[in-house]
A and B are shown apart, each in its own frame.
Chain A
Amino acid sequence: KQEVTQIPAALSVPEGENLVLNCSFTDSAIYNLQWFRQDPGKGLTSLLLIQSSQREQTSGRLNASLDKSSGRSTLYIAASQPGDSATYLCAVQWEGGSEKLVFGKGTKLTVNP
Chain B
Amino acid sequence: EAGVAQSPRYKIIEKRQSVAFWCNPISGHATLYWYQQILGQGPKLLIQFQNNGVVDDSQLPKDRFSAERLKGVDSTLKIQPAKLEDSAVYLCASSLGVVRGGPDTQYFGPGTRLTVL
Interface of A toward B, CB cutoff 8 Å:
4, 31-32, 41-46, 49, 51, 89, 91, 93, 97-106
Contact = CB atoms under 8 A, between A and B. Distances in A.
Given A43-B4, A43-B91, A103 B104 contact: no
Interface stretch (B39-47, B64-72, B79-87): B39-47
B101 to A, nearest CB: 11
The number of chain B residues touching the other chain, given as a range, is 20 to 34
17 contacts: A41-B113, A44-B43, A44-B91, A51-B103, A89-B42, A89-B43, A91-B42, A99-B48, A99-B95, A99-B97, A99-B104, A99-B106, A100-B45, A101-B106, A103-B42, A103-B43, A105-B40
Interface of B: 4, 31, 33, 40-45, 48, 55-56, 91, 93, 95, 97, 100, 102-111, 113
Nearest to B107: A46
Nearest to B111: A43
B57 to A, nearest CB: 10
A101 B107 CA distance: 12
